[in-house]
Amino acid sequence: MKRLLAPIFLFATLSAVAATTPVATKPSPPSDVAAPPADAEKSSTGLFTKKLAGGTGTAMPTDDDMVKVRYTLFASDGRLIDWIAPPQFVVVAVNTMMRGMKEEVEMMHVGERRRAWISERLGGAGKAPAGGYLVADVELLDVIRIPVTPSDVYGAPADATRTKSGLAYKILRHGKETRHPKASDTVVVHYSGWNSTGHLFDSSLLRGEPAEFPLQGVIAGWREGIQLLTVGDRARLWIPEKLAYKGQEGKPQGTLVFDVELLAIK
C-alpha cells in the first residue's frame, strides 16, 4: 500500500508518520553516516550529496512540481529517524520540503537514488546532533507536474459545445475507442478541478493515481459530461453551480471547470 503525506514534508508530523510505518526490515546506518565521504559532491549552499544509483528517466523536479519518493533518514550519530519501505511511497510538493532535501531532490532524475548530508542550517536542526547532519537517502520514483490553470477557466469559450442542461464541454484529445459509459457504469479517470477564480481545489494527478467511482454517485455535471466521452478522450467541462454542488457549505462554489481523461469503463 502507498502512503501519502500532507504537503508539509516529513518533520512537522514525524511521530505520526513513524507510528504508521509498517513492520519491515529495519535499515542499518550507512558506513558514511557520520560525515560526508571524500567523493561526496558539495553544492554552493554547502549541501553534500552522493549518487547511489543512476536514474532511468530524464525528468527532474522543479519548485512547481510534486514528487513521489521513498526515503530513509538517519542522524549522523547512527540513529534511525524514519523510513518508507517498498512498496510504500509519499507524494509531496517540492516547494514545501526542508531546504536541504528540496535541493537534493531537485538535482535528481526519476529512478535515481541519492544520499544527502543535511546540516542544521539546511534543515537538520533538531533532528541530528549539534554540529552533525541529518542523512537522507532518497529514491525519486516520479515527478508529478502540477496542472496548469486553463486560460479559459473563467468562462467557456465560443468553440465549446453547450448542452440543454447548461453544461459546456470541449474535447481536448480524442481517444481511439467508441464506447461511451452509461450512467450505471463505474469509470476510471484522471482529473483536475478549478473554481471560477482559477483556484485548483482537487486533482487525481497530485495524488499519483487515477480515481474510480460510479457515475450514479457524482454531481450531475460530471454524470452528464463523462457519458459524452469515450475511453482515451480528454475533455474540459464547465459545470454551472446548479449541476455541481448547488451552493452547499464546505463544497467548491460557483461554476467549476474540470479537465478529465477517461481511462477505463468498468
Catalogue the active-site residues. Answer: 191, 201-202, 219, 245, 258
Residue 160 cell numbers, joined: 465549446
Rounded to the nearest 5 degrees, what angle is found at the Cα of 146, between the Cα atoms of 144 and 152? 145
**Please, which residues have CB within 8 angstroms of residue 227's CB and are 6 or more apart in sequence?**
180, 181, 182, 183, 215
Rounded to the nearest 5 degrees, what angle is found at the Cα of 62, between the Cα atoms of 52 and 55? 25
Q: Name residue, grid cell 519518493.
A: 69
Per-residue burial over 104-132, b = 16 or more CB atoms within 10 Å of its CB, e = otherwise: bbbbbbbbbbbbbbbbbebbbeebbeeeb
Identify the H or E element spanning 143: strand 134-145
CA atoms 66, 100, 77, 12: torsion sign: negative
